[in-house]
Amino acid sequence: MNQQFEYINPQSLDEAVKLAGQGSVYAGGTDLLGLMKNDIAHPQRLVNLKALPELKAVERQKGKGLRLGALVTLNELAENEMLQKDFPAISQAAGSAASPQLRNVGTLGGNLCQRPRCWYFRGDFDCLRKGGATCFAMDGENKYHCVVGGDGCYIVHPSDMAVALLALEAKLEIYGPGGQRLLPISHFYVLPEDDPTVETVLQPGEIITSVIVPEQPVGSRSVFVKFRERSAWDFAVVSVAAALQVQNGAISGGKIALGGVAPVPWLDKKLNNTLAGTALDENGINKIAASALTDAEPLEQNGYKVILARNMIKGVLQSLAG
């Protein structure tokens, strides 16, 4: 990396937004610096957000839910006792991300806005996501790529936090030149069929300021699990987050989100349509798991992800049934 750039410490959110239009925002920098080293990102300006205290809060308002500042570190989320008790999927996802050292500096907002870890994208390949003509994973090494939603670009999104927050039906507060907007996280990520060169709907100058998690209904239970090849550091091969309401031994509402299977954190429609009213007994759990990824179109080397995801869903449901 031999890039010339301006490094600025804004003193207000408005100043940060104004400056970010011609640069990249910076907090933990765990992904951005890697992109710069890989010669993928070439910002003329780095806008450091660390001096903005309003982005660092963890607040709970009775009846209104949870507000998590975009600059809260993953370690702070993982160790927060209130989250561990009432929103365990959030603390579990944060605690499973990266390594302990990176969790100390990596932020919630940064985790949500990561770029793909695909080795063709990160390497010296003129792939579709970098403006080229093809996705090299289609006929190349594709063991870790997506099995659904690819449509020409077969990345998977690396954010663990996004999967947990998707199951919890979180919303993102986004501030930019046009003011503030509130966006469901389910509308934040972009499929390749819509634009293969970007991952999110963020516009120039826009910044995630906080994540809003609604108060969960009585009887709610949540959990996040991930499978990775090593016990630490690795990104998820497959991850599952569930936030379900259980009454009288059956599911009465909620969602299951999947990671590692699609270019975006994934809400499988058939899977989620199967949940309500299904008993959390052996037959019901098998029925729910079998409904997942029925429309998958695996590549040559990654068909195992469908079986893995279904088995992980079974494990998650069994843990919530106990």
Separation between Cα atoms, residue 32 and residue 111, nearest integer Å: 11
pLDDT of residue 34: 87
Q: In the chain, which residues have pLDDT < 50?
A: none
Separation between Cα atoms, residue 56 and residue 246, nearest integer Å: 33
Helix, strand, coil content of the chain in percent (nearest 5): 30, 25, 45
pLDDT of residue 29: 85
Q: Which domains does the chain have, with CATH numbers?
A: 53-114+169-213 (3.30.465.10), 220-321 (3.30.390.50)
Q: Which residues contact 58 (CB under 8 A, 6 or more apart)?
A: 66, 67, 68, 69, 72, 76, 77, 80, 82, 83
3-class SS at 266?
A: strand
pLDDT of residue 233: 54
pTM: 0.96
Q: What is the pLDDT of residues 231-278, one digit of tens each?
A: 655 789 999 999 999 999 999 999 999 999 999 999 999 999 999 999
pLDDT of residue 232: 55
pLDDT of residue 64: 83
pLDDT of residue 1: 53
pLDDT of residue 177: 96
